[in-house]
């Protein structure tokens, strides 16, 4: 029997990412970007230096041990994220993973200074319209996360409790659901106090256990992100109108017509969850409805975005694809990606484990 090839996809991908980061000066750009957490950008210098006791920060440390949590109030921001329901392979009952985020709605840093710093890094002129776009998109990176928060949603006339949120301000839990026909879409709404801001509506797509499933990369596969260029990432994320890769909306539309109606779509991105509203709007405009899967780390800096898109992407994507496979073990997977974020290595790792995979990269 021939010896197995001495090849580690994760190590290879990590080496390629480090080379790209060094060649394109990622470290320098990250160092030069404004840091919202530094004293220089706090709203008051005294507040930054005095470091008062913060209940939210204290809860962040102990949220994972808090079995109850605090109810969301009107001062919070709540995001619900679309998901996919599946039949549990062991019980045959419908269930889904629910993901939501809770933030504090008032940035503690001087937003205008952060916007100016990004504009300066990109060499932009003093254009009011561009700065307005930057401010709108940067705000989710500047909010403080809210740990140990709980709230309820109404899903097909059933109330479901979500939370408490983790130290990253995220709650992730698998919940049992009422029956619905495969291929159907069920709306859900957050039951939160009046005045609470955010994304309070979500959709659950019911996927039967057999057939096909699409797992698509996002950045530079369906959306122009320029992930090999730090300034390109910043410009396409915070300034430019989100643009699809030419030909991909047409390809996905045609693919959708060829597949059964209950085929689930998953959009897998190494972007942090702070970009969920931007990416959801982009998906809704150009591509079939599907679940966006993003990194659940709390990147409360602009530099963190560059790190998320260029470090550890192979391991992250392989892990999330294994999770999808555990939900739908009988479905044949079509994987679509490019070479800028180690998609071939991540997809190759899945293909070694399964033979019913069609990689398209």
Count of positions (residues) in the chain: 361
Which pair of tokens denotes residue 39?
């004293």
pLDDT of residue 178 exceeding 60, the answer is yes
What residues contact residue 290 under an 8 Å CB cut-off, 6+ apart? Answer: 82, 84, 205, 214, 216, 264, 265, 266, 267, 283
What residues contact residue 17 under an 8 Å CB cut-off, 6+ apart? Answer: 310, 311, 312, 313, 342
CA distance from start to end of the chain: 31
The reported pLDDT for the residue numbered 186 is 98
pLDDT of residue 112 exceeding 70, the answer is yes
**Do 272 and 140 contact (CB within 8 A), yes or no?**
no
Phi, psi of 283 (to 5 degrees): -60, -45
- Note the pLDDT tens digit of each residue in 123-139: 998 899 999 999 999 99
The reported pLDDT for the residue numbered 9 is 66
The stretches of the chain forming alpha helices (DSSP H) are 9-23, 26-32, 45-50, 55-62, 111-121, 128-142, 230-238, 248-258, 276-286, 302-310, 313-327, 343-353
The reported pLDDT for the residue numbered 350 is 52
- Cα 281 from Cα 285, distance rounded (Å): 6
List beta partners, residue 147: none
- Note the pLDDT tens digit of each residue in 324-353: 999 999 999 999 987 654 444 444 555 555
Highest mean pLDDT among 66-80, 262-276, 304-318, 339-353: 262-276
Measured N-to-C along each axis, helices 343-353 and 313-327 cross at an angle, to the nearest 10 degrees, of 40
Sign of CA dihedral 250, 255, 261, 262: negative
Of 274, 292, 285, nearest in space to 237 by CA = 274
Q: What SS3 class is residue 295?
A: strand
As to burial, measured by CB atoms within 10 angstroms (0-12 exposed, 13-18 middle, 19+ buried), residue 45 is exposed
Domains of the chain: 16-25+208-361 (3.40.50)
pLDDT bucket at 361, cuts 50 / 70 / 90? low
- Note the pLDDT tens digit of each residue in 70-87: 999 999 999 999 999 999
Q: How many CB atoms lie within 10 A of CB 212?
A: 18
**Do 230 and 179 contact (CB within 8 A), yes or no?**
no
Higher pLDDT, residue 304 or 67: 304
Of 10, 63, 27, 59, nearest in space to 230 by CA = 27
Q: Parallel, antiparallel, or unpaired for β 76-80 and 197-199? A: parallel
The reported pLDDT for the residue numbered 12 is 72
């Amino acid at each position: 029997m021939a010896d197995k090839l001495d090849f580690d996809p994760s190590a290879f991908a990590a080496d390629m990412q480090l080379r790209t980061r060094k060649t394109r000066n990622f470290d320098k750009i990250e160092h030069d970007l404004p840091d919202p957490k530094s004293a220089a950008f706090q709203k008051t210098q005294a507040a930054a230096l005095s470091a008062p006791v913060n209940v939210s920060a204290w809860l962040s440390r102990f949220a994972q041990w808090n079995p109850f949590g605090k109810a969301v109030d009107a001062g919070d921001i709540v995001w619900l994220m679309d998901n996919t329901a599946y039949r549990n392979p062991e019980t045959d009952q419908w269930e889904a993973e629910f993901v939501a985020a809770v933030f504090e709605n008032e940035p503690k840093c001087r937003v205008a200074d952060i916007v100016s710093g990004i504009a300066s890094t990109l060499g932009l002129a003093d254009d009011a319209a561009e700065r307005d776009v930057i401010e709108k998109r940067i705000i989710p990176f500047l909010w403080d996360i809210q740990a140990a928060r709980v709230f309820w949603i109404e899903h097909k006339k059933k109330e479901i409790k979500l939370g408490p949120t983790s130290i990253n301000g995220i709650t992730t839990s698998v919940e049992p659901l009422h029956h619905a026909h495969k291929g159907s879409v069920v709306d859900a709404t957050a039951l939160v106090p009046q005045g609470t801001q955010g994304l309070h509506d979500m959709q659950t797509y019911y996927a039967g256990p057999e057939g096909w499933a699409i797992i698509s990369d996002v950045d530079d596969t369906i959306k122009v992100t320029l992930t090999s260029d730090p300034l390109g990432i910043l410009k396409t994320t915070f300034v430019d109108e989100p643009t699809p890769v030419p030909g991909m909306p047409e390809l996905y539309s045609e693919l959708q017509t060829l597949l059964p109606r209950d085929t689930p779509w998953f959009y897998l991105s190494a972007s942090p969850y702070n970009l969920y509203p931007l990416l959801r709007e982009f998906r809704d405009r150009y591509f079939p409805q599907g679940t966006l899967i993003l990194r659940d780390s709390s990147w409360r800096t602009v530099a963190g975005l560059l790190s998320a898109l260029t470090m550890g992407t192979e391991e992250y994507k392989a892990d999330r694809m294994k999770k999808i496979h555990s939900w739908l073990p009988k479905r044949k997977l079509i994987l679509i990606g490019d070479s800028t974020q180690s998609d071939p290595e991540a997809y190759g790792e899945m293909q070694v484990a399964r033979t019913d995979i069609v990689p398209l990269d």
